[in-house]
Amino acid sequence: MPKAMTAASPVLDLDDSAAVVAADTDGVLRSAALGGAQVRATSTAVTEAVADRLRDLRPRSVVFVSGDGRAGRAASMLIAGAGARIGVPLVRAAGTPLWVGPLDVVVVAGDDAGDPRLAEATSIAVRRGAETVLITPAEGPLRSAAAGRGVFVPPRIAAREHNTLMRHLAAGIGVLANVSDGAYRSLLPDPDRLADLLDAEAARNHPSNEVFHNPAKSLAARISGSRVVLTGASPVAVELARHGSEVLLRAAGVVSSAGELADVVAAAVASGRQSSFGSGAQHSNIDYDPFFHDDQLDGPRPEAPVRVLVSAAPNLVAATERRVAAVPDAVVMSVDEAGLDRTEPGYAGANSLEFGTRSAPELGTGGLDDLEAMSLLATRLEMAAAYLHLMGGR
């Protein structure tokens, strides 16, 4: 349904669950909610395909060669979240490095079986004798490049390309968990637990849950009509912010930016409260109507406010709130230790806003590490992007 030109808000009412479901003719919400299913299916596939080949292998390095899209972002998140704990160098590369040999594991990941870069990387890896695992479709030029010596782990769950982050992340976790006779398994997220947590997050964000009890709908409402900057309190969270920015653009046409937290805070402080980083009160006008607005008579059109979304693991929320205290309109996103979703304004003196999850499965999240917490927020951002898509984007 097209928007009226004078409408101040999207036509779709997010609290009208029947209307939301009816509007989702392309299944964008279902695709965004498949993170848990992708983790289960991919973990099982990795175990079946490569566990025996990797178990006795003590690699010199594990190299992640990624195509465009979610595969590269997943590799960056995994390296940022687990690289310091794993006793093997983890390397992300655009192609197979020249130093790779029989002592290395090369993980080639992507969603396009026709990507020539992935085909070339696969050909070099198998030719140099590296153990090569392909998290790709088992077809086209990649199958020819593997020459029967690479092991394919093709997708088992159909999802839109921008919703495949969890598939690639689970594949990377599976590879690392199986090398060196499973020596690093206890240092990585447990796939079954992660899948359950992702399913619980998706249930909280179900269309039947009203905005106040639905973190993804609440996030979509906060993003709608604003200019958005995403950032994070840790290296993994910054990678998640970049993923969120890409998904918002891809799924909903929302133009946003992502960057390091220090850069965002510095920009806000340098600009001051009366600039584009303002809360939007001085830029917005409740009487503004784009249809009747005349620039000569009414002055400049009001500028949409900038909203800063900061992702943080539960143990970093308090410190992150202090860091963004100077940012006029910052929202700290996290999942607290009791399993409740929290979205808190990050400026001094603001009241905390909690979104209940009584309609969702109760899963304790105590002990969530950074990678697990950011995986949950990835599902929330992807579902928020799906709701924004149904609202028509901004």
Which of 28-37, 294-303, 310-319 has the least mean pLDDT?
294-303
User: Looking at 132, 161, 190, which one is the last position of a domain?
Assistant: 190
Instruction: For residue 169, give the nearest of 378, 7, 322, 23 by alpha carbon.
Output: 378
> Which two tokens mark 375?
């995986």
Quote the percentage of the chain above a pLDDT of 70: 80
From the number of C-beta atoms within 10 Å of its C-beta (0-12, 13-18, 19+), residue 118 rates as buried
Residue 141, pLDDT > 80, answer yes
Residues 184 and 328 in one domain: no
Residues 272 and 341 in one domain: yes
What's residue 336's pLDDT?
A: 58
Tokens 């958005």 found at: 228
Residues 260 and 315 in one domain: yes
CA dist 115 and 108 (Å) reads 11
Residues 259 and 158 in one domain: no
Per the domain annotation, does 347 fall within a domain? yes
> Which two tokens mark 379?
């599902």
pLDDT tens digits for range 378-392: 999 999 999 999 998
DSSP string, 176-220: HHHGGGGTTGGGS--HHHHHHHHHHHHHHT-TTS-GGG-HHHHHH
Task: Evaluate whether 365 touches 335 at the Cβ level (below 8 Å).
Answer: yes
Mean pLDDT, residues 262-289 taken together: 65
Per the domain annotation, does 5 fall within a domain? no
Residues 180 and 302 in one domain: no
Instruction: For residue 243, give the nearest of 35, 94, 14 by alpha carbon.
Output: 35
- Give the domain CATH number at 372: 3.40.50.10490
Per the domain annotation, does 265 fall within a domain? yes
> Using alpha carbons only, what angle is made at residue 169 by residues 168 and 171, rounded to the nearest 5 degrees?
65
User: Looking at 167, 190, 213, which one is the last position of a domain?
Assistant: 190
pLDDT tens digits for range 230-243: 999 999 999 999 99
pLDDT tens digits for range 4-56: 333 334 568 898 999 999 999 999 999 999 999 999 999 999 999 999 999 99
3-state DSSP percent of the chain in helix, strand and coil, to 5: 45, 15, 40
Which of 73-77, 96-100, 300-304 has the least mean pLDDT?
300-304
CA dist 101 and 89 (Å) reads 14
- Residue 270: which residues within 8 A CB-CB, separation 6 or more? none
- Sign of CA pseudo-dihedral 43, 375, 390, 13: positive
Residues 47 and 81 in one domain: yes
What is the average pLDDT value for the chain, to the nearest integer? 85
> Which two tokens mark 230?
């995403």
Count CB atoms within 10 A of the CB of residue 13: 12
What's residue 283's pLDDT?
A: 44
pLDDT tens digits for range 190-200: 999 999 999 99
What's residue 353's pLDDT?
A: 29
pLDDT tens digits for range 142-169: 999 998 999 999 999 999 999 999 999 9
- φ, ψ at 92 (rounded to 5°): -105, 130
User: Looking at 128, 155, 190, which one is the last position of a domain?
Assistant: 190
Task: Evaluate whether 128 touches 94 at the Cβ level (below 8 Å).
Answer: no
- Per-residue pLDDT band at 278 (split at 50, 70, 90): low
CA dist 389 and 384 (Å) reads 9
What's residue 329's pLDDT?
A: 87
What's residue 253's pLDDT?
A: 93
Whole-model pTM? 0.85
* DSSP class of 285: -
What's residue 118's pLDDT?
A: 96
Residues 97 and 168 in one domain: yes
Mean pLDDT, residues 260-267 taken together: 94
What's residue 10's pLDDT?
A: 52
Residues 352 and 240 in one domain: yes
Residue 180, phi-psi category: left (phi > 0), alpha (psi -120 to 50), beta (remainder): left
What's residue 268's pLDDT?
A: 85
DSSP string, 225-254: TSEEEEEESSHHHHHHHHHHHHHHHHHH--
Residue 352, pLDDT > 80, answer no
What's residue 288's pLDDT?
A: 56
Could you tell me which residue, 286 or 386, shows the higher pLDDT? 386
Residue 298, pLDDT > 80, answer no
> Which two tokens mark 360?
């969702």
Which of 143-147, 185-189, 203-207, 267-271 has the least mean pLDDT?
267-271
Residues 22 and 62 in one domain: no
Residue 363, pLDDT > 80, answer no
* DSSP class of 136: S
Q: How many structural domains does the chain have?
A: 2
Task: Evaluate whether 392 touches 10 at the Cβ level (below 8 Å).
Answer: yes
Residues 266 and 168 in one domain: no
> Which two tokens mark 168?
């690639």
The CA distances from residue 65 to 75, 111, 120, 216, 304, in Å, are: 9, 12, 11, 32, 39
State which residues form the domain around 356.
17-27+205-391
